[in-house]
Amino acid sequence: MAVFKGAGVAIVTPFTKNNEVDYEMLGELIEYQIANGTDSIVICGTTGEASTLSHEEHLECIRYTVEKVAKRVPVIAGTGSNSTETAIYLSTEAMKHGADALLLVTPYYNKATQKGMILHFTAIAEAVSIPIILYNVPGRTGCNLLPQTIATMFRNVPNIVGIKEASGNIAQVAEIMQLTDGKIDLYSGNDEMIVPALSLGGLGVISVLSNIAPRETHDMVYNYLEGNISGSRELQLKLFPLINALFCEVNPIPVKKAVNLMGFEVGTLRMPLTEMEPANVERLVKEMQAAGISVNKEF
């Protein structure tokens, strides 16, 4: 059985004015997401600024989220690292805290050969007993997890069950599905490519967009899965300008601004990320309003 079908939100991490994790606001965001149809909470991913969280903060965010969600939807914990030892530590601790599955990004900066990535992910998988979704995002990590490599691990490592594919290359998505006989749990890692990924057998998306449009993102996936292809396509195209606005600066700068604009006090970003440029904020507000999202806070 798949970890989830539908839209999993790569949830932002709120900070207080003192730049500490705001767990109370995180709880509010989780409740908002579940109330609006989100199918899974993905905590401590790229959008959650995991790279600037201490290990203690990272694991406390996972523990808090698992407790707050209370099995209403699956909780997927981002525990990847460019250090295999660190990834094993975070992964085993996340499992102890009750995470339903793990999201493991490819090793970044030091990168790795395809053989090295097989050894890396296999070592982590063997240290835990919960499902693993691999995360391929070469634009951020500098290395591309190739379809044959993914297929090799899917065949040989029992708890490697899925892939969040964010290469932006639809031909690569097709090759992954062809080499795994369509059996791997495929999630789009690009909000602008949800419908194309579903057309190749995908089960859903791990989404930035879901932070501000959870119901619409859920509906986009489930319309497709239930046979309403035109309804799914209509939502993809309607939300396309908003998706572009959410990535007009590096993620999660725009989406965190958008969540603040909706009235949730999620605070600023941790350096080296900086606040959004005013012209881009205006563009974001325009596209949020065009998509029917209320902007409740002065910007």
Which of 68, 71, 111, 135 is the catalytic position?
A: 135
Contacts of 17 (CB under 8 A, 6+ apart): 267
CB-based contact 124:154 (threshold 8 Å): no
DSSP E strands in the chain: the ranges are 6-10, 40-43, 75-78, 101-105, 132-136, 160-165, 185-188, 204-207
Kindly report each contact of residues 28-36 with a partner whose C-beta sits within 8 Å and lies 24 or more positions away, as own/partner. Answer: 28/264, 29/211, 29/259, 29/264, 29/266, 30/65, 30/68, 30/69, 31/68, 32/214, 32/264, 33/9, 33/210, 33/214, 34/69, 34/72, 34/73, 36/214, 36/215, 36/218
Number of Cβ within a 10 Å radius of residue 210: 31
Asked about 135 being catalytic, the answer comes back as yes
Give the type of residue at 141: T
CA proximity to 40, closest of 110, 130, 101: 101
List the Cα angle 159/90/122 in 5-degree steps: 35
Which of 164, 187, 222, 257 is the catalytic position?
A: 164
CB-based contact 144:116 (threshold 8 Å): no
> 210 to each of 93, 183, 274, how far by Cα in Å?
27, 25, 22
Q: Give the residue numbers marked as catalytic.
A: 135, 164
